Chains A and B, each alone.
Chain A
Amino acid sequence: MEHIPAPAIDFISLAPALILSVFGMLVLLMDLFAGKNKNLLVFASLVGLVLAGVSAFAPKALPVVSFGGSYVVDHLSVFFTLIFVFSSALTILLSIEYNPRNGIRAGEYYALILFCTVGMILLASATDLIMIFLGIEVVSICLYVLAGIKRGDVKSNEAALKYFLLGAFATGFLVYGMTLLYGATGTTKLAGIAEVIHSGQTNSDTLLLLGTVLLIIGFGFKVASVPFHMWAPDVYEGAPSPVTAFMAVGPKAAALVAFYRVFATAIPEIGTTWDTLLMVVAVATMVIGNFGAIVQTNIKRLLAYSSISHVGYLLIAIIARNSLGGSAIAYYMMAYAFMIFGTFGIVILLGEKNSENLEIKNYAGLGVKQPAIALCMTVFMLSLGGMPPFAGFIAKFYIFGAAIKEGYVVLVVIAVLNSVVSLYYYLKIVVLMYMKDSERELELSMGPITLAVVAIAVFGTIEMGLFPDPILQLTQ
């Protein structure tokens, strides 16, 4: 009966995930007895998130490798943990006022968001194919349910069905890609894979290549890059607004960091094979994202297409594959989180008791009626377009810097042209707000907490635009 040695586990580096899952279960149980008012649940989940955020800084000497190389906590994953905790906290804040108004009474909503965040945190620091697969699945399962949580609404149902079916379909490809990668290199650890490729004794190069292609397809879907983006506009429009905002930031960032880790650490050596492919995908994503957004009349669909085009810019950082790319993605996602939560805060503010007023023409004349909110919306729109004084500009600046350092100048030129096109539909809303006058009077539901979220977002967008250094140091 020889004793099987236990693997080295460093619990401190695992702290955020542990805390959040405990709080998730706590919220789940509290919901059984909470009955009508959900504030207690909200409070508990926020406390959980704050604790998790604080504990993310607990490990002293980064990077900490545990579980035999399948779980690495380094600067990048700590920063992404912050992004995830931050975005789910804002989602919960946004949904405090949104849920009762739109008939979402399920208490499990908050528990599912916490579980989803656990999945994302694990994904951020997973360096093992199985771990990445499970992380993506936890995130996806929670999102399938969250998308369809508004049971009465046919749209939310259809969104959940579409997201589920296409998600499962893409997971098939993702897993098949991982299998081929495992088969070709013999190990599931990313570091192991990189080392095997480096030493050149992969079992067969075709399997490796096929596996990479299938991985691009699998990750491509999760990140909504072009050939696999079709689900995004419908699901963003169908799902409840706080969930859409959450989906646009959290899971996308998690998928991106997994995408980056696999492609930039595991298989950079064979980069020459897949970077042309990724470049085509990136350009197509930018172009289709921008062009799709131009004729949109529904604000959520417009933001869906715009988030697709932002993925195009982020793919450039993955193509750049240097360490600068990693911190560029991190910085971009934090800036993106501020912008998207602010915009969706305002979208929610505009919703009334009966209708959510998602049509863009409802924004006409906002500049006159609500100058402060209109100003915030302008800040977000300009920042999303990448105008200098705001966070969007600096974020894009660093990504393009990373790409140029690797010599992808043509790619950057196309990206810049695309962000110019994107300015058109961002400023279309600003023009509507200030230049046109509103034909029908709509009284805004001035929820104090949603306003607080918008305020935090505006502060963040401006602060990250003018003082990028403190946050940048965190990503290095």
Chain B
Amino acid sequence: MLEQYIGATVMFIMAIGIACGMVFMTSVLGPKRHFAEKMEPFECGEKQIVSPHQRFSVKFYLVAVLFVLFDIEAVFFFPWAILFKKLGMFGFVEMLFFIIILGVGLCYVWIKGGLDWE
């Protein structure tokens, strides 16, 4: 039973190997010049010592939330994708309602400006 997971585990190990490898290689091979700016922790291009309140921007959060919600929606598609042949018309209508409802959600968010970055 577990053999089926061999493929998944191999792929998993390969991914971790490459990631660690890259980090290891850069630290080993890369030139090491230590000066002030470089030592600072990287914060997506934002300056560090700034009062939290001012630089608080919500677009990060909005993107993340929409990612979560539409991810769930995508997950609903997996079983449907496999079974929709067997479910026939009923399955199709069922999923149609699902998509319509979440479609409304999408246009709402889109027009409301939740998606645009600035």
Contacts and interface: CB of A to CB of B under 8 A. Distances in A.
User: Is the pairing of A and B real?
Assistant: yes
Interface of A: 1-4, 6, 21, 25, 28-29, 32
Contacts of B107: 29
Contacts, number: 24
Given A3-B88, A6-B90, A29 B104 contact: yes
Nearest to A25: B104
B85 A1 contact: yes
Contact of A1 (B86, B90, B104, B108): B86
B108 A2 contact: no
Contacts of A25: 101, 104
Contact of A4 (B86, B101, B104, B111): B86
Interface size class of B (residues with CB under 8 A): 10 to 19
Interface string B76-113: 00000001011110110000000001001001100110
Given A3-B86, A4-B88, A4-B91, 19 more contacts: A1-B85, A1-B86, A2-B86, A3-B88, A4-B83, A4-B86, A4-B87, A6-B87, A6-B88, A6-B90, A21-B101, A25-B101, A25-B104, A28-B104, A29-B107, A29-B108, A32-B108, A32-B111, A32-B112
B113 to A, nearest CB: 10
- Grouping DSSP codes into helix (H, G, I), strand (E, B) and loop, the B interface class, with mixed when no group exceeds half, is helix
A28 B110 CA distance: 13
Contacts of A3: 86, 88
16 contacts: A1-B85, A1-B86, A2-B86, A3-B86, A3-B88, A4-B83, A4-B86, A4-B88, A6-B87, A6-B88, A28-B104, A28-B108, A29-B107, A29-B108, A32-B108, A32-B112
A4 B108 CA distance: 35
Contacts of B87: 4, 6
A180 B108 CA distance: 39
Contacts of B88: 3-4, 6
Nearest to B93: A6
Nearest to A2: B86
A28 B108 CA distance: 7
Contacts of A32: 108, 111-112
Contacts of A28: 104, 108
Highest count of chain B CB atoms <10 Å: which of A1, A6, A21, A29: A6
Contacts of A21: 101
Contacts of A29: 104, 107-108
Contacts of B112: 32
Interface in B58-88: 83, 85-88
Nearest to B88: A3
Q: Which 3 A-B pairs have the closest CB atoms?
A: A6-B90, A25-B104, A32-B111
B80 to A, nearest CB: 12
